[in-house]
Amino acid sequence: METKLYTITVFSENTVGLLGQITIIFTRRAINIETLSVSPSAIKGVHKFTITIFATEDVVSKVVKQIDKRIDILKAYYNTDEGLVFQEIALYKVATDKLLELGTIEILIRNHHIHILEMNENFVVFEKTGHYDETQQLFNELSESVGVLQFIRSGRVAITRSKVERLSDMLDNIQEKYGK
């Protein structure tokens, strides 16, 4: 079966130790987490994990069921890139003198829609948002031309395209049906 990149979205209660419970499930099957981001969701007290892994659909479906089964997990599901609107952010630190020597800063900034976050006599910090390939391409260009002093890329954040049941509605339904 074909391995590809899947994005797993997990909604959970905001309790201590949940990240460990989730990562253990990947560790058991020797799956590397490619990216991970955690943040509060739109619903108060509910946290959202966005995890990307390379796997077959057979494996990702089983892993997601095992995550969903944990007591404090509200909902877990998975998508491929086609089903998502997603974004990553990257920061690049480069030497100011080398950048000035290059003489083509304007073209670089226009082509890559770079934001400059900080600039001083020693270094400049660029910010670029985009998909992995896009942030990687800027990294490659900078590496070849001026060198990159530091680089960091965030985990993926994603929103689904499908008209899935909203989590808040799901929670209301559960409360209505079982919470009496």
Partner 1 sequence: METKTKITGAHAFMQSLVKEGVDTIFGYPGGAIMPVFDALYDYDKHINHILTRHEQGATHAAQGYARVSGKVGVCLVTSGPAATNAITGIGDAMLDSTPLVVITGQVSAPLLGTDAFQEIDVVGITQPITKWAYQIRRAEDIAWAVARAFYIARSGRPGPVVLDFAKSAQNEEVEFNYEPCTFIRSYIPIPEVQSSQIEAAAALINTAKKPFALVGQGVLLANAEKELKAFLEKGNIPAAWTLLGASAMASDFPLNKGFLGMHGNVAPNMKTNECDVLIAIGMRFDDRVTGDLKTYAKQAKIIHLDIDAAEIGKNVIPDAPVLGSAKDTLPALTAMIKEAKHAEWIASFAEYEKLEFDKVIQREVYPESGEMTMGEVIHKVSEATDNKAVLVTDVGQNQMMAARYFKYSETRSLVTSGGLGTMGFGIPAAMGAKMGAPERTVCMFSGDGGFQMTIQELGTIMQEQIGVKMIILNNHFLGMVRQWQEMFFEERYSFTNMLNPDFVAIAKAYKINGTEVHKRDELDAAIADMLKDDKPYLLVVNVEKKGMVFPMIPAGACVTNILLGD
Residue type, 89: I
**Which C-beta is closer to partner 1: that of 68 or that of 134?**
68
Cα three-residue angle 54-60-64, rounded to 5 degrees: 130
**Which C-beta is closer to partner 1: that of 13 or that of 165?**
13
Task: Give the whole-angstrom CA distance, residue 142 versus residue 137.
Answer: 9
The token pair at 112 is 């890559």
**Which C-beta is closer to partner 1: that of 66 or that of 87?**
66
Length of the chain: 180
| Given 12, 52, 79, 135, the residue binding partner 1 (CB under 8 A) | 12
**Which C-beta is closer to partner 1: that of 91 or that of 171?**
171
Output the smallest distance, CB 155 to partner 1, in A: 22
| Given 3, 13, 14, 161, the residue binding partner 1 (CB under 8 A) | 13
Helices and strands counted in the chain (H then E): 6, 9
Give Cα separations from 49 to 35, 92, 137 (angstroms).
10, 25, 27
Q: How far apart are the first and last CA of the chain?
A: 45
103 lies in the site for partner 1, by CB under 8 A: no
Q: Do the beta carbons of residue 51 and residue 36 sit within 8 Å?
A: yes
Output the smallest distance, CB 79 to partner 1, in A: 19
* Interacting residues with partner 1 between 42 and 81 (CB under 8 A): 61-62, 65-66, 68-69, 71-74
Output the smallest distance, CB 70 to partner 1, in A: 8
- Cα Rg of the chain, angstroms: 20
Stretch of 15-23, 77-85, 101-109, 117-125 lying at the interface with partner 1 (CB under 8 A): 15-23
Q: Site residues (CB under 8 A) for partner 1? A: 12-13, 16-17, 20-21, 24, 28, 61-62, 65-66, 68-69, 71-74, 171, 174-175, 177-179
